Every structure is written in C-alpha cells, then in structure tokens.
Amino acid sequence: MNEQADELHRLELLRKGDEPTFRWLVDTYQTRVFRTALAIVPTPEEAEDVAQEVFEEVYRTVGQFRGEASLSTWLYRLTTSRALKKERDRKRKKRFAFLTSLFGPDESATYDPPDFQTPETSLEDRERTGLINRAVQQLAESQQIAFTLHYQEELSYQEIAAVMQTSVSAVESLLFRARQTLRKRLTPYRNS
C-alpha cells in the first residue's frame, strides 16, 4: 500500500472512531505537535495543553476533514491555530493583570516565562536556547510559524505553504524576514 493510500485508509478508520488508529495518530504526531506548540507558547505545560486540545479536536472533527491536505498538514494547522489562540489569551490576561494592578493596593504584574530546558543541556546552552526562543517568540506571528515549521519541524517550503494556506514565495519571504530580524536581534549576543 503506498503512502497516500495508507493515509486514506487510516483516515477512514479514524472517521469510524477506530481506537487503535487514533492511538497510532497520537503516538506518531504527539512529539511534533508538542514541539510546534512549544515554539509559540512560553511553557512546556501550555504546549502540553495545546497538544491535548489538538488531539481532542481531531477526535471530534475528523469526520469533517475533507482530506484536501495531508493529515500532518491538518495537524500542524490545528496546532499553530490553537497555540496562537492560547498565546493571545495569555497576553490578554497579562495586559488585564497589569491594568488591574495599576488600581490595586499592593498587587504587581510580573511575568517571567520559564525557558524550555532539557537535562542534557549545559547552562550555557540553556541560556543561548532561551535567548533564541525569546527572539523567535517576538517575531511577527506568520514569521514565527514559518520559522518554527521550517527550522524545528524541518518541513519543506511547500509543506509550510500548505499549513499556512499561502504560496511558496510567501513562505520564502517570511523566512527571509525572520532570519533578518533574528540576525539583528541576536548579533549583540554573538560575541558575548
């Protein structure tokens, strides 16, 4: 069975509510979904929430998926959409907390998102990774998505264009501008 036929078969099983196929989907894509979300939201906990929401949505709405894009493209699209919504909501709450603190007695609005760290990384690598992650999170939304999908998830320009529902030339432009912006922001730290 070729790859496209295999995907169509699995999609049909998913639509029928086949639990082993859904488990296969989660096992196959959960790390990619988590990493994509983590590139947009500031904490692993929020990325886990996004991943859970994505798979819940897939389970509920797979019957509506028309198969015009690949299953992985659909998952990336759901993930970026959910993560961006969570990030917007977080920023809205942060602004509200700040405004509220202006009128409250001793309340303060402090927010210092923790960096994603793995046990294998050294302190210097964690600092560099944190610096890069913060710089990526400050990119324009579309640049951030394109950058994450290309450099972290290693998707091709064509795959990114499908996820973002745009042209390949638009993806090339987004990545070019993202690299320029990151180069400007990170140059002062290169020699330190």
Instruction: Name the CATH architecture for the domain at 1-114.
Output: Orthogonal Bundle (1.10)
pLDDT score recorded for residue 173 = 95
What is the rounded CA–CA span in Å between residue 62 and residue 60? 6
Name the residue among 113, 114, 111, 58 with its Cα closest to residue 81: 58
Question: Where exactly are the structural domains of the chain?
Answer: 1-114, 116-192
Q: For residue 120, which amino acid is it? A: E
pLDDT score recorded for residue 35 = 93
Q: From its phi and psi, is residue 17 left (phi > 0), alpha (psi between -120 and 50) or beta?
A: left
Token pair listed for 71: 């299953």
pLDDT score recorded for residue 87 = 83
pLDDT score recorded for residue 168 = 94
pLDDT score recorded for residue 190 = 64
How many other C-beta atoms are found inside a 10 Å radius of the C-beta of residue 70? 16
pLDDT score recorded for residue 121 = 42
pLDDT score recorded for residue 140 = 92
How many other C-beta atoms are found inside a 10 Å radius of the C-beta of residue 5? 9
Distances (CA, A) of 31 to 19, 47, 67, 153: 19, 10, 22, 10
pLDDT score recorded for residue 136 = 85
Q: What is the average pLDDT score of the chain?
A: 81
Token pair listed for 174: 């987004």
CATH class of segment(s) 116-192:
mainly alpha
CB 113 within 8 A of CB 70: no
What is the pTM (predicted TM-score) of this model? 0.63
Low-confidence ranges of the chain (pLDDT < 70): 1, 91-125, 190-192
Token pair listed for 82: 């959910």
